[in-house]
Structure 1
């Protein structure tokens, strides 16, 4: 009976759905919605006071009713999880933004007068990450830092009901302990086995036994066959732990520049500590996790800029000299 009651435990955990949701001040409306409704009502009342003495009442209602409905719809309706006013603002900013971006340190120079150009000049591409520290912490262009944790998965469906309830409760406790924004990213990426097969082929002649060399060669051929016959995919789980951006202005140098560096160093220490805490919390669930170092973060960013393509191999570090010379064999 005890075992049956344990298996009947519900798989639920109390987690706030939206911790950044604005506070409700009246009738379930937040301050922004109240301001929009008040402005709509004020404009409607002003229009009625101006029109009721000049035109018949049905004409006044026909002229003001669409304005009133528009204000109510903008206040209460939502699209893709956003209110219509914010959705319209995002659409306007997207329409006005440049569609072609180029990587440059300064502004894009205009073409000479004799060159006729169709369309608009491309805008500078401003990547959100300005640098990757040696400890693996990402520094953002707009301020703030972040650490990335790569996590594995757990066979949830193979556990009993009581074990599943324990996992859900432990995961809920970790989510409730978070104090800063955390993004959990799950995606699949293609896997290319050709590099591994080539490495095995090159290392096979150095094996001490001819049978081992033949086995390694056969295994490399099998990997090449699998890589050419099917599309291999790997699932990756990334947890991005951010820190609040610094309060120092970004356009000033001197003392403010030193203050920004101090804020980044302090923020890097904080996010690294929280990343280690996340690794320990996930270890309780039986999930293997690790904090990505600088090389792993650079590889992750390179893969993010070319989604759907095999990962880059043999890339040089930022401080390495790239040459075209190869050692002769």
Structure 2
């Protein structure tokens, strides 16, 4: 008997608003209705003053712009929301720097001393940076992130290939994931992204160990494998998957780790250094991650702690960041379809 696969009808966009009339949402109807009402009031009040052809000529571009704003989309957002964000961006300072607003010694605060000596000789006006206000205010050494005054923890999650499982196994995965969702009592977020993955360090590590092999055939095979990795990196543009779960600390974090582990997925809460690396990768996804651990804000950096952390990260990389037969690290995709298995580690210590 054929194994039946579980089927569920899920819309492509689960956040899509409901339609009210004529396949239009309430927001779209409100935009069109407001503009149409204003046009009708304007025509009923001043209609006799101008010929009808003039009113029609003026109404055509207004109607086209209204329909474009109401129905158009840009960067995954409706056009009216996109325009509202653009207008709000115009009012923000273009130069911002991290720092507390109203800190002692800042401009405008008592005790602030303004020097008359210019640090740089220039005739252009000096642009004083505005304070950069981020949703994340504090990051502790144990990985707790304060976002909008609420503490959250970040869990690095592995992945699994459900397509290779039988129907009963897929149903078990769905049931376990559904139980985790139903058990949540606080907001949770799953963040999935893909970033460029550089295979050159892995090829260099293979070449470094080739000289220690006892037989010439083994050394030749190792060198060929390193060449394959470099060719794969140059021609296929491999990508690294990053899967993070952001949940409340305490029982919610423990329940999430137990639920994902029961599904056969790796789930490791990140410490402060790994959280900083994840945030840095989210801000600048096109730059390769910096080697070594990242410093946690407001935590002193010492040489002994840095060396100890580096040894731990190196051991994790050696144990968990192995390459498969296709030349991909676990959890690494390529831009044209080469897919890895589950997890990969970065020098920051987070499992991506």
> Matched residues in 1 for 2:11 and 2:45: separation?
51
Judge conservation of contact 1:184–1:238 (CA < 8 Å) in 2: yes
Query: Which residue of structure 2 aligns with residue 266 of structure 1?
Result: none
Q: Deviations over 1:193-251 (max 9, x none)?
A: 69989xx99xxxxxxxxxxxx679xx9xx79x959973597844332325xxxxxxxxx
CA apart distance, 1:150: 0.8
For 1:238, the equivalent position in structure 2 comes to 243
1:97–1:122 distance in 2 versus 1, CA, 3 Å: same
In structure 1, the partner of 2:78 is 83
**Structure-2 change in CA distance of 1:273 and 1:215 (3 Å):** farther
CA distance in 1, matches of 2:243, 2:270: 10
Of 280-289 and 162-171, the range deviating more from structure 2: 162-171
| Alignment correspondent of 2:316 | none
The normalised TM-score by structure 1 is 0.63
Q: Does 1:292 align with 2:270?
A: yes
Structure number with the bigger relative contact order (C-alpha 8 A, sep ≥ 6) is 1
Length, aligned pairs only: 277
Partners in 2 of 1:63 and 1:79 — Cα distance? 26
Matches within 5 A, 1:199-214: none
Q: Which residue of 1 aligns with 2:14?
A: 18
> In structure 2, which of residues 169, 183, 189 is the aligned counterpart of residue 182 of structure 1?
189
Stretch deviating more after TM superposition (168-177 or 91-100): 168-177
SS of aligned partner of 1:87: helix
* Cα displacement string for residues 269-296 of structure 1 (whole angstroms, at most 9, x for unaligned residues): x444323222222223211212223343
Determine if the alignment matches structure 1 residue 46 to structure 2 residue 27. Answer: no
Contact 2:193/2:243 (<8 A) preserved? yes
Alignment partners' CA distance in 1, 2:32 and 2:9: 36
**TM-aligned CA deviation for residue 170 of structure 1:** 4.0
Partner SS for 1:52: helix
Matching residue of 1:278: 256
Q: Secondary structure at the match of 2:242?
A: strand
- Deviation track 1:291-326 (CA, whole Å, cap 9, x = no partner) reads 223343234334545543244315556233469xx9
Q: 1:150 and 2:150 equivalent?
A: no
Distance 1:100 1:29, change over 3 A: same
Name 2:291's counterpart in structure 1.
312
Correspondence for 1:61:
56
Tell me how far 1:84 sits from its aligned partner. 1.6
Quick one: structure 1 residues 27 and 15, their matched pair in 2 at CA, closer, same or farther if it must change by over 3 Å? closer
How far apart in 2 are the matches of 1:16 and 1:275? 29
The residue that corresponds to 1:262 in the other structure is none
Q: Any idea what SS the aligned residue of 1:51 has?
A: helix
**Gap regions ≥5 residues in structure 2:** 108-113, 308-352
- Aligned-partner Cα distance in 2 for 1:173–1:15: 21
Q: Is the 8 A contact 2:276 2:294 kept in 1?
A: no
Q: Which runs of 5+ in 1 are unaligned?
A: 202-213, 243-269
Mapped contact 1:183–1:241 kept (Cα < 8 A): yes
